[in-house]
Amino acid sequence: MNQRRGGPPRKRGQKPVKEGDVVEVEIVEKSRRGDGVAKVAGFVVFVPNAEVGQRVKVEIVKVGESYAVGKITGV
């Protein structure tokens, strides 16, 4: 089974978000640095100042090879 938390599996190299996108996510864990961690179609999104269990709207501000960073725009 190739199912990941946060949605259906994605193809290698395909990114489900791009800079400027606004998505609603649920924070599922904390990173080592203390940022909230959400997943969009299995793609990790770090959200500073977010807490586990929060459901927030975030604007994607950076997209890396294996992760993205979003800032909270609404709850």
Confidence class of residue 42 from pLDDT cuts 50, 70 and 90?
very high
What is the pLDDT averaged over residues 57-68? 97
| 22-74: CATH architecture | Beta Barrel (2.40)
First vs last Cα of the chain: how many Å apart?
33
- pLDDT tens per residue, range 4-41: 455 555 556 689 999 999 999 999 999 999 999 999 99
pLDDT at 3: 41
pLDDT at 4: 45
User: What are the sequence ranges of the domains in the chain?
Assistant: 22-74
